[in-house]
Every structure is written in structure tokens, then in C-alpha cells.
């Protein structure tokens, strides 16, 4: 009787595991097929790099609630995909995202904003467990600039424009603009942009440290994919530990940040990839990481 109970439990566990795997595969196929209303999704480089393309062209990719929810759903799918190593978020040549959807929020009251935690689900981008790259062409204003800054790395086309123009609407940034912009370019420049609504050119954004690289408009996505492929060639465990340490620098004092870095550094020595990487270096060969 006990044996039968154990066998039935094991069978149930196996069935549940298969069902979970099947569900993950369905979500992955759905995301890759682009079954969304306001975004398009696909993979590049044999699945190693995922691309999420904002797709509200008539509204210059204005970030409505449903679009941001769809981004969150796509991120979950690609996080679960073991082949995917990096995720690109991009828009069109004309606009990465011209801002939040003002028509959607203009009549909301304080009580509604507070009780619904308006824009709260936007943080899903910053919480992504895999490296994210914002590939920005055209306008990245207001919520669009905030979305780009939630990503780990920003590449910009040479005609890109960044800014936080909420002050011109009688309000202020609400999805991290005052915080992430200040950390990226410093208090004085951030104050100038936030208090006037001025825009920053791609070249000036690179000089200020907001973006990593500026490239030709038609080379933006290929360069972002190339970056994603380069990241995919590293140990996924080491990449995760490194991201965790860098992100901590925005949240904690220097001493605590260094402690986190040291902890993650020590942690890497418990992995096979650290042994392989250092052995390959000594033997003067390319490392073959197994993400273990």
C-alpha cells in the first residue's frame, strides 16, 4: 500500500513537472510568435538574444498600461528560456517611446493613483533577472526615458533624444526619472533637464554617461544584438553575480557595496565556470562555460 502511494506521488510529481515544462514552452512559443497587441517579440542569434519591440506607431509608442503589462509578460517568458542570455527593448526609428500615455492618465485622481499604485508594474523591467539592453532611436521622453534607464545598458542611434518633460505637463517623473537620471548624469545636469523639460541629444547623452554608445540609426539593432551575443558567451552565473554587484552600487553605501561584491566574488569560486575560466586562461585557450 505504501509502495503504491509512493509510486502515485512520484507519478503525480512527474506529471506536474511535465505540465510545467509544457506550459513554459507554450509561453515561449507565444512570446516568440508575437501574440501581443502593443509589442512584437522575437529572438536573434539562435535564441541567445531576445528582442521586445514596442509597437504603437500611431502613438509614438506611448506607454499605456497594457503595453507595459505585455513587456512584463514577455520578460517572464524570456527569463524562463535557458537559451536566452540577454534581452533587448527597442522601438521604431522615429520613437523608442515618446512618453507615458497621457490620455490614459490625465483624468485620474490622487486616490486612484495611490490605490492602484499607478506605474507600479513598470518596475518589472528593472527587476528582470537577465541583462537588458535599451536600443533607442528617436524620442525617449518621459516614461520612455525612464524605461530606457531601467535597462542595464543603453545604446542610442545618432538621432535619439532623451528627456523628462513632465514639468511642462504640470507634474514630475513618476517611474524613477528623478532618481535614475541623477545617478546617471549627476545632480546639476539632471536638475536642468527635469526643471525645464529640455531634451538631451544622443551625443550629449553619451558624454554625460547616460548611454554607452552612439551608432548610426540603421546599425543600432545589429550592434545591440552583437552586444547581447557577447554577453551570451560568458558564464550566466558570473553575469548574474556581476549584475547583482553593479546594481547594488545604486542602492547601498560604498562599504556595503564592496561587501556584496566580495561575497559574490567568493561565491563564483563555488562554480565550475570559475574553475574552467581560470584554467583556460592559464592554458591559453578559450573557456567553455557550462553555466554550472
Residues with catalytic roles: 100, 143, 146, 166
Q: Which helix (H) or strand (E) holds 155?
A: strand 153-157
> Where do we find the cell 513598470?
122
Q: Which helix (H) or strand (E) holds 224?
A: helix 220-232
Beta carbons within 8 Å of 143's beta carbon, 6+ residues apart: 63, 97, 99, 100, 119, 122, 175
3-class DSSP state for residue 35? coil
Alpha-carbon torsion, ordered 233, 234, 235, 238, to 10 deg: -160
The secondary structure of residue 285, as a DSSP letter, is S
Residues facing residue 210 across a β-bridge: none
Instruction: Report the 10 Å Cβ neighbour count for 216.
Output: 11
Answer left, alpha or beta for residue 235, where phi above 0 means left and psi between -120 and 50 means alpha: beta
d(CA 131, CA 113): 30
CA-to-CA separations, 132 to 28, 68, 156, in angstroms, rounded = 18, 15, 14
What's the CA gap between 243 and 239, in Å, rounded?
6
Amino acid at each position: 500500500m505504501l509502495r503504491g502511494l509512493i509510486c502515485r506521488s512520484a507519478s503525480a510529481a512527474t506529471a506536474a513537472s511535465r505540465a510545467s515544462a509544457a506550459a513554459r514552452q507554450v509561453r515561449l512559443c507565444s512570446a516568440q510568435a508575437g501574440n501581443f497587441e502593443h509589442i512584437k517579440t522575437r529572438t536573434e542569434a539562435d535564441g541567445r538574444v531576445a528582442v521586445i519591440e514596442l509597437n504603437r506607431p500611431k502613438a509614438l509608442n506611448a506607454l499605456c498600461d497594457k503595453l507595459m503589462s505585455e513587456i512584463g509578460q514577455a520578460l517572464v517568458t524570456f527569463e524562463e528560456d535557458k537559451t536566452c542570455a540577454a534581452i533587448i527593448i527597442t522601438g521604431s526609428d522615429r520613437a523608442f517611446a515618446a512618453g507615458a500615455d497621457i490620455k490614459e492618465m490625465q483624468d485620474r485622481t490622487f486616490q486612484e493613483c495611490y490605490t492602484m499604485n499607478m506605474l507600479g508594474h513598470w518596475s518589472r523591467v528593472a527587476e528582470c533577472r537577465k541583462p537588458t539592453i535599451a536600443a533607442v532611436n528617436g524620442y525617449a521622453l518621459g516614461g520612455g526615458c525612464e524605461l530606457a534607464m531601467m535597462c542595464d545598458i543603453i545604446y542610442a542611434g545618432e538621432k535619439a533624444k532623451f528627456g523628462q518633460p513632465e514639468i511642462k505637463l504640470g507634474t514630475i517623473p513618476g517611474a524613477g526619472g528623478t532618481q535614475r537620471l541623477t545617478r546617471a548624469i549627476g545632480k546639476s545636469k539632471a536638475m536642468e533637464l527635469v526643471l525645464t523639460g529640455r531634451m538631451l541629444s544622443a551625443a550629449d547623452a553619451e558624454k554625460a554617461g547616460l548611454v554607452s554608445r552612439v551608432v548610426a540609426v540603421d546599425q543600432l539593432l545589429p550592434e545591440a544584438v552583437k552586444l547581447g551575443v557577447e554577453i551570451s558567451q560568458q558564464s550566466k552565473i558570473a553575469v548574474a553575480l556581476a549584475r547583482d554587484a553593479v546594481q547594488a552600487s545604486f542602492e547601498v553605501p560604498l562599504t556595503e557595496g564592496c561587501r556584496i561584491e566580495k561575497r559574490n566574488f567568493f561565491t563564483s569560486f563555488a562554480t565550475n565556470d570559475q574553475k574552467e575560466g581560470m584554467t583556460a586562461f592559464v592554458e591559453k585557450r578559450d573557456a567553455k562555460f557550462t553555466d554550472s
